[in-house]
Amino acid sequence: MYFTFPMRLLPLFVSFFRVLRTMHRGLCALAWVMAASLPAQAMQLSASDGLHDGKPLVGVAVQHDIEGRWQVEDLHRGPQRHAFESLGDSLEAGFTRDTVWLRFSVTRTQDAPTRWLLRVRPARLNQATLYAPDGRGGFIETALGDQRPFVDRPLADHNLIYPIEVATTAGDYYLRLRNDGAALRAELDLWQPDGFARARTKDYTAIGVLLGAAMLSICMNLIFMVWLKDSLYGHYALYVLCIAGLSVARQGYLAEWILDTRPERVAQAVLAMNCLFNVVATLFMSRIFGFREHWRPAARFFDAVAVFNLLALGVSLTEFHSSIGAWVGLGSAASTLFGALFVSYLLLVRRQFQYLLPAAAFSVGTVLGLYSLLKLWLGDRVPGVAPGHIYMLSSLTHLILLNIAVADRTRRAERDIRRERRQAMRIRLEAEQVLESTVARRTVELASTNGTLRDEIDKRIRLETRLLESLDITRKAAEQQQEFVSMVSHEFRTPLAIIDAAAQSLDLSKVREEPAVKLRTAKIRRSVQRLSMLIENILLSDRLQLQYRALRLEPVDLYMLARGLCHTLNLRGAERLQLTAPGGLPEVQCDRSLVEIGLQNLMHNALKYSPPDSNVQVTLRQVDETVQIDVSDRGGGVPKADVEQIFEKYFRSDTVSTVSGSGLGLHLSREIARRHGGDVRLIETGTEGSTFRMVLPMVAAPSQLAATNPGPTRTA
């Protein structure tokens, strides 16, 4: 029973509270209707008002026109007259596209002037139309705003100024306001013309001082950038330029000085300047605090914010600019809050106290900037002064502190430079001392070395003299040896010729038919020819050593030359030589006797190392601008260990020690080919034989140049 009783009474309590809430709402609505039905309280102006400071309007009422269809008559005499609500010091409607109506009543004393000036701030209002009573029950309409040409304003000022006539009897004034992109807010005050002229002079003087200070700061930072070779100062100069440009745009000077006849571009220009400032400020903050060095994700986040503002900058130049103003403000708030948290982390956790001054500069701007953004978003629900005043205060404080921070950076850079100079000076003095001692020590060493070097030079001169004498003796001995070899070789030729002639006479005599005589005369003639070739090779090797011996060049038909060798070569098995060549071979410009000896040596080697029952193939062909002569035998091949040495002078392989030879044949063949610009190479070797190739460059005869079709293949 104890637990069930409250549960039974619960519906009764709920019904009772619902009745109380309904009664409260009814009483509140009744009180609001009674307050709204009361006439507007008129503000009385005296002769001393509006001379030194603007007289803020009091008793201002506000009403929102969501659809924007109401006319002034609907609010003055229609049902909407009783829907106005009391307004505080200024209008803070935030980002809204509603049409907002303000109502106020003004009267004056007898000694006060009739003509007054109503100032509406800020200048960033798209539509601002004042309906002033004309004294006959109607209204005088004065339409201003940044969507109307500045040249059409009744009074040239960066703020919206309405001349009004104030009577001694109270009259209701209506102000219709609307913004499409920026936050809607308004501050209203009244001035006497003389007082406003003085205040206007102060405003323009202040903006002039601000721009002058900005230009001075820009020039100084550009100079620092050049002197210190640090692009951060150039970045800060751009940052100051953007702050100055944004201040000019937000205070309405842009519409007055640049876009006075293009009102449709004012809102776009202000938004574009805001986006550009966000890009420069975001990157500057990331750079001055070293986000990329401390935490790369923070730098990437700020890069993303910069990219977003760049995209917003592009959109701000289109007809859709009014739809991104709130998003740009939200992005600025997010990046500012994140930057503040990360800088706090650097100072409190990482203890990077070198960022203390720039952190103080940005903290003031951050706190006041966030407060200004909250004021724009939430309007009167956030207490405090107007966002315009907050913006100017934050910009001024921020620039002063940031200039001090940049100057401190310069001071620290100069201090580091001086410390480095002192250290460099100390190192230089130490280096000079070490250098002096080293020079003294090296001088002593050099004197000793010079003495040793002079002795060494004397020894080398004596050795060089002896060497020259030895070389002279060696040269004379070589010349005597060459003379001896030449003499002996020439002396051998006569007996060999006599022996060969005797053997040839025996072949022609009556006894030639005897087998024993025929066999012996053949051996005698082969031996004589072998000795003749040896002597010829020795003499030829001696001649080729002479560097200044000129070749006796002439056009030679290599086919006829090879054919003649095949028929006249008096060697055993010479009949085994088989010559193959295509028709139409061009003549070669060469020394006939040398080429004949080189080719004869190749044929001689092939016949020596081939089995007696095998043929030796001699093939001629034309390849590009050369003639190739291949001599192929059927011998046992060249051992791999001897391939690189067979062309050396006097080289004889151990595997052919049973075969007679001097080791000069292949060497002379290659030297002859190379003297003609060609070569002799071993292109193939194995158990089935070897192939040596002689390559000679050709020069075709005129008769051969005219031929277009090669002749038939010739075989000997």
pLDDT band at 708 (very low <50, low <70, confident <90, very high): very low
CA distance 130 to 117: 12
Pick from 14-28, 304-318, 454-468, 496-510: least confident:
14-28
Average pLDDT over residues 273-301: 88
pLDDT of 438 above 80:
yes
pLDDT of 572 above 70:
no
Over its C-alpha atoms, the chain yields an Rg (Å, rounded) of 58
Q: Give the pLDDT confidence score for residue 566 in this predicted structure.
A: 83
Name the one residue in this structure whose structure tokens are 């056009």: 555
The pair of structure tokens assigned to 501 is 């002639």
The pair of structure tokens assigned to 235 is 């970045």
pLDDT band at 470 (very low <50, low <70, confident <90, very high): confident
pLDDT of 100 above 90:
yes
Omega of the bond prior to 154 within 30 degrees of 0, cis? Answer: no
Q: Please give the single-letter amino acid code of residue 574.
A: A
Q: Give the pLDDT confidence score for residue 692 in this predicted structure.
A: 93
Name the one residue in this structure whose structure tokens are 């519906």: 11
Name the more confident of 276 and 33.
276
Per-residue burial over 380-418, b = 16 or more CB atoms within 10 Å of its CB, e = otherwise? bebeeebbbebbbebbbbbbebbbebbeebbeeeeeeee
Signed CA dihedral, 109, 112, 115, 119: sign only: negative
CA distance 51 to 346: 51
- CB neighbour class for 691 (10 Å; exposed up to 12, middle 13-18, buried from 19): middle
How, if at all, do strands 626-632 and 588-591 pair?
Answer: unpaired
pLDDT band at 631 (very low <50, low <70, confident <90, very high): very high
Signed CA dihedral, 342, 345, 346, 347: sign only: positive
Give the tens place of pLDDT for each residue, 348-357: 888 888 777 7
pLDDT band at 571 (very low <50, low <70, confident <90, very high): low
pLDDT of 298 above 60:
yes
How confident is the prediction for the chain on average, in pLDDT? 78
Give the tens place of pLDDT for each residue, 445-458: 888 888 888 888 98
CA distance 672 to 679: 8
Average pLDDT over residues 617-635: 91
pLDDT band at 381 (very low <50, low <70, confident <90, very high): low
pLDDT of 629 above 90:
yes
Residue 87 CA: distances (Å) to CA of 35, 84, 187, 384, 476: 13, 9, 11, 14, 129
Average pLDDT over residues 124-137: 87
Instruction: Provide, rounded to the nearest whole percent, the portion of the chain with pLDDT above 70.
Output: 75
The pair of structure tokens assigned to 625 is 């601008």
Give the tens place of pLDDT for each residue, 160-188: 999 999 998 888 999 999 887 677 888 89
Average pLDDT over residues 73-91: 82
Q: Give the pLDDT confidence score for residue 420 in this predicted structure.
A: 86
pLDDT of 296 above 80:
yes
Region of 344 please: left (phi>0), alpha (psi -120 to 50) or beta. Answer: alpha
Pick from 252-266, 414-428, 683-697: least confident:
252-266
Question: Which of 174, 178, 177 has the alpha carbon at shortest distance from 164?
Answer: 174
Contacts of 178 by beta carbon, 8 Å cutoff, 6+ apart: 68, 97, 98, 99, 100, 125, 126, 127, 184
Q: Give the pLDDT confidence score for residue 63 in this predicted structure.
A: 92
Name the one residue in this structure whose structure tokens are 């721009």: 211
pLDDT band at 12 (very low <50, low <70, confident <90, very high): very low
Average pLDDT over residues 407-418: 75
Average pLDDT over residues 275-287: 89
The pair of structure tokens assigned to 607 is 């016949």
Average pLDDT over residues 677-696: 90
Give the tens place of pLDDT for each residue, 643-652: 878 888 777 7
